Structure 1
Amino acid sequence: MTANSVIAEARLRGRNQLTLPESVVQAGGLAEGERFAVEIDLADPDTVRLHRLRTSYAGTLRDVYGDPVAALAEERKDWR
């Protein structure tokens, strides 16, 4: 854990439902209905990790092509 970690206790309830503590929800900026991938390493089954699933990939490759206007202009040259 790091100094930037939030640790809180959660309980697995009937029907395999896990309620996240409010401190975790607020720290993560989580909202109702968000989806997560659940990871358990079989070599360390006492550790469970939740990974928030993205709902959008917009902007994730922002710096890959440099200036988007220039990259698009360059790409359009090949269309002619």
Structure 2
Amino acid sequence: MNAPSDISMKTDEVLRVELEVFRREHRELDESIRVMQERGTADQLMLQRLKKKKLALKDMIALIEDRLTPDIIA
């Protein structure tokens, strides 16, 4: 996750690519967390770190989706 916090300077095309990358990473983390919990092989600190990273990705995804969605003034 090496995206800068200021996404206002990025083009929509770049944001769409990053959005797909972040979504894929989020899915992979979700799967990893699920497998670790099912097997009971993960220590709590590792799970906590993975969940924190997953949440940060979710926040970045929401930020990019908001940037890509046009404002509609009714």
Using structure 2 for the length normalisation, give the TM-score.
0.20
- Give the structure with the higher percent strand: 1
